[in-house]
Structure 1
Amino acid sequence: MARVCAICGKGVTVGMQYSHSHIRTKRIWVPNLQRVKAIVNGAPRRILVCTRCLRSGKVQRAI
């Protein structure tokens, strides 16, 4: 499973971390993904969804 939201496609972002002395090191930003049971094409499935999509109501949760 990739670290990508199934709804909006938000994924890992890479960049540089700068210390106080301006030493650069690579780092990654990982989205806050939750494994939820949702209705996909009329059937319940477990998918990875970012918290932004959950909060905004873009996901129909299955019980």
Structure 2
Amino acid sequence: MSFKCDVCGKGKATGMQVSHSHIRTKKTWSPNLQPVRAIVNGTPKKLRVCTRCLRSGKIQRAI
């Protein structure tokens, strides 16, 4: 299972972490994914959704 948002597709980002002495090491940033029961096509389904999609109301949560 990939570490991606099921709504917008946001995934891990990669880059370099640069120290004060300019030593560079590889670093990954993970999205803040939350397990959520949401209504998809009229039925509740478990999704992994980033907090930006939750906050903006892109999904309807199941009760």
Fold match (TM-score > 0.5): yes
Quote the Cα distance in structure 2 between the aligned partners of 1:5 and 1:19. Answer: 30
Return the TM-score normalized by structure 2: 0.96
Query: Deviation string for 1:8-32 (max 9, x for gaps)?
Result: 1100000000000000000100000
Aligned residues: 63
Match of 1:21 in 2: 21
Quote the Cα distance in structure 2 between the aligned partners of 1:43 and 1:4. Answer: 22
Match of 2:58 in 1: 58
Identify unmatched segments of 5+ residues in structure 2. none
Q: Secondary structure at the match of 1:53?
A: helix
Quote the Cα distance in structure 1 between the aligned partners of 2:50 and 2:40. Answer: 16
Match of 1:5 in 2: 5
Q: Output the amino acid matched with 1:51.
A: T
Match of 1:37 in 2: 37
Quote the Cα distance in structure 1 between the aligned partners of 2:54 and 2:39. Answer: 13
Aligned-CA RMSD value: 0.6
